[in-house]
Amino acid sequence: MSVTTSIEVKAGAPAVWAVLSDLGNLGSWMSNHAGYVGAAPQAPAPGLEYTERIRVLGMPQEVRWTVADLAEGSRIVQEGKGPMGISIDAEYTVEPTADGSRLTVSQAFSGAALFAVKGQLEREVKAAQESSLAKLQALVESA
């Protein structure tokens, strides 16, 4: 199962990247973020590992993230291990446009446990992506 959402931001890619890449400040825009286990990470770097608390299907969960790839200023790829053996691949990209930039988030989920919750999870992830990107857009455009 995969879910992708994009948003146009009336700000340059460097301004969007500054908010997106501040991992320690995810709570200011990521709607399902509920904190960290241990110290909050700061800037992404290949191989960085951290554990994030999120709210999924109304319940708190923990995801162990590893930054798998990074193109400074334009792309972060993370691999996550969640509850019940669910794996999450997440990619965030920032692209310059004529009027500012486009921010896209793509998340792919796999694991046997998805069978029971796939439809509900897909709807919740899409709503969380849309809400999160709108919050990030508002943060960047109001700065």
Domain ranges in the chain are 2-142
Question: Can you tell me the distance from the alpha carbon of 34 to that of 3, in angstroms, rounded to the nearest whole number?
Answer: 21
At a CB cut-off of 8 Å and minimum separation 6, what does 67 contact? 44, 45, 46, 47, 48, 49, 76, 77, 78
Q: Do the Cβ atoms of 128 and 100 come closer than 8 Å?
A: no
- Domain 2-142 annotated CATH 3.40.980.10: no
Could you tell me whether strands 100-110 and 33-37 are parallel, antiparallel, or unpaired per DSSP bridges?
unpaired
pLDDT at 117: 82
Angle formed at CA 141 by CA 135 and CA 143, multiple of 5 degrees: 105
pLDDT for position 136: 97
Predicted local confidence at residue 137, as pLDDT: 97
The three-state secondary structure class of 111 is coil
Q: Is pLDDT above 90 for 56? A: no
Give the distance from CA 94 to its chain's centroid.
Answer: 12
pLDDT exceeds 90 at position 143? no
